[in-house]
Amino acid sequence: MAEITVRHSEPKDAQAIQEIYAGLEAYSGTLMLPYPSQSRWQSRMEQIPDNIYSFVAEYEGRVVGNLSFELYQNPRRRHAGTFGVGVRDDFQGKGVGSALLAAMLDLTDNWLNVRRIEITVFTDNHPAMALYEKFGFVVEGESKDYAFKNGEYASVYHLARLSRHR
């Protein structure tokens, strides 16, 4: 398989990102609804706030993954942030998520001085759990019936990773 490259996302990536989250596996792992709007993604990509860092992963010039990291703005939480990630259904399990997380952690650990990164994951999303654990995330708690997904209530785990910096 060719190399996966990660770069900052641009407004021109909106359609490719919308297509990522149109995939059943991709949107089922998030709080997004099916049938994402192209115009909504275009607007989001043109107006990224200063505290959000958005990346895409490319394979042979084609956008196959997206990750957005949000640095919290509350003065007492500026050492922390959260992120969301999506990978095209046909590229899951091929290293795209790992490439995106590695890029994010390089930015947060070495450039933004982020101490704590948080994410919420559906308890049945075993591939995502394995990915996050590989990068040092640990389960800190569980919320029962957190969200309505695919016709029923679903529980989530709350994960966090503390950087090595003190």
| pLDDT tens, position by position, 43-93 | 888 999 999 999 999 999 999 999 999 999 999 999 999 999 999 999 999
pLDDT at 116: 98
pLDDT at 112: 95
For residue range 30-42, what is the model confidence (pLDDT) as tens digits? 888 888 888 888 8
pTM as predicted: 0.93
pLDDT at 1: 55
pLDDT at 124: 95
CATH code at position 112 = 3.40.630.30
One DSSP character per residue, 91-135 reads GTTTTHHHHHHHHHHHHHHHTS---EEEEEEETT-HHHHHHHHHT
In the chain, the number of structural domains is 1
- Identify the domain containing residue 146 by its residue range: 4-162
Which tokens sit at 148? 């309505």
Look at residues 166, 162, 107 and name the one whose alpha carbon lies nearest to residue 135. 162
pLDDT at 39: 85
Q: Are 135 and 159 in contact (CB under 8 A)?
A: no
